[in-house]
Amino acid sequence: MVNIFGLDIEEIKEAISKLNIPSYRSKQIADWMYKKGKNSFYDMTNLPKNLQSTLATEFEISPPTLTQRLDSKYGDTSKFLLSFDENTAVETVLMRKKYGNSVCVSTQAGCNMGCAFCASTLLGLSRNLTATEMFGEVYYVENELRKEGISVTNLVLMGSGEPLMNYDEVIKFLRLIHDENIMGIGYRNITLSTSGIVPNIYRLIEENLPITLSISLHAPNDELRTKLMPINKKYPLKDVVEAGQLYAERTKRRLTYEYILIDGINDEKNHAVELSELLRGQLANVNLIPINPVKERNFYRPSKEKIAAFLNYLLKSNISATVRKEMGKDVNAACGQLRNRYLEEGN
């Protein structure tokens, strides 16, 4: 059986042409599958009965399945553990915000970047996700929202995994999700977050996709950044910031630098001074994220006063900066925590 879930119109055309099914049926099938969330050919009521049964014997439509769902008691965040096969499950998060419904997509099952503060990397990398699987994450949430008469409006590639270490499939996924016949999500509503895989930031510039780039900085100098993010040994801060600057210039899109605040580690005045020197004159916004403590790590959140002092120093130095509003703390929204618990419990 061929799984046609995740194929675009042209690919569906090609698959059905082998059965001598006329090509215009492709758009009808895609419509039922992607716009109406049907995964049985027998629900596609504008197809003749005999065509429905031919399709059902040759093809299947297999989106990911739900293993676990957690809803925040505040009503703003839902977390889904979605499975693609027996061994592969990832986390996908829905955040309901004032401006729309944002989905946080995982790009790898696990991660091997080794960042010291992150839960996703604790169990290593299991495998890259395919474009179809990433699409399946968004599709799953879209179907849930359809029941409420609303839809997914924004995407952040900030779930488990390093998107620029799974470059080709991520680009394929972005084109798929943007396709009018599939989900039609505007590139401007998509943010890709990276730990700074420099050569692939340059490749991304050449793709000419007006998505927002977000770079995880987390430290203002190489010594500290290498301790927190081992990838910094390969791609040091200066090269990362240079690539970021070129991205902003070429795409005319404001860049975001993410900076987790960890008590006593990277949140002192001298760090704020160094950070503002590093970013002076850039078309960028610094997003300060009070750390989500992970139980396996001894990192804690700074006091409100320290967070405010760090923010104020940046603002006083004319660096655009904001503190991220926290969502879904009660549903383990820090990437990777739900999946880890699930794997550890021996499921």
Alpha carbon distance 126, 52 (integer Å): 37
Which of these, 193, 205, 213, lies nearest to 113 by C-alpha position?
Answer: 193
Site for ligand SAH, residues 184 to 213, rule: CB under 6 A: 193-195
Residue 228 touching ligand SAH (CB under 6 A): no
Which of these, 164, 209, 205, lies nearest to 190 by C-alpha position?
Answer: 209
State whether the Cα torsion 32-34-35-40 is positive or negative: positive
Site for ligand SAH, residues 136 to 155, rule: CB under 6 A: none
Site string for ligand SAH, 327-346 (x = CB under 6 A): -------xx-----------
Nearer to ligand SAH, 125 or 289 (CB): 289
Instruction: Give the C-alpha distances (Å, rounded to integers) separating 68 from 77, 141, 187, 342.
Output: 14, 13, 29, 9
The residue from 162, 169, 213, 248 that contacts ligand SAH (CB under 6 A) is 162
**Which one is catalytic: 258, 335, 344, 345?**
335
| Number of residues near ligand SAH (by CB under 6 A) | 18
Site for ligand SAH, residues 78 to 137, rule: CB under 6 A: 113, 115, 117-118
Tokens of 2: 């061929």
Active-site residue, 58 included: no
- Which residue type is seen at 162? E
Residues 6+ apart with CB under 8 A from 268: none
Stretch that binds ligand SAH, among 20-28, 182-190, 235-243, 284-292 (CB under 6 A): 284-292
Residues 6+ apart with CB under 8 A from 196: 215, 216, 217, 229, 231, 232, 235, 240, 243
Site for ligand SAH, residues 259 to 278, rule: CB under 6 A: 260
Alpha carbon distance 289, 166 (integer Å): 25
101 Cα distance to chain centroid: 14
Active-site residue, 169 included: no
The residue from 132, 200, 216, 340 that contacts ligand SAH (CB under 6 A) is 216
Residue 77 touching ligand SAH (CB under 6 A): no
Residue 294 touching ligand SAH (CB under 6 A): yes
Nearer to ligand SAH, 171 or 334 (CB): 334
The residue from 92, 200, 212, 292 that contacts ligand SAH (CB under 6 A) is 292
For residue 37, the minimal CB distance to ligand SAH (Å) is 28
**Which one is catalytic: 91, 162, 169, 258?**
91
Nearer to ligand SAH, 30 or 157 (CB): 157
Residues lying near ligand SAH in the complex (CB under 6 A): 113, 115, 117-118, 158, 162, 193-195, 216, 258, 260, 289, 291-292, 294, 334-335
State the catalytic residues: 91, 335
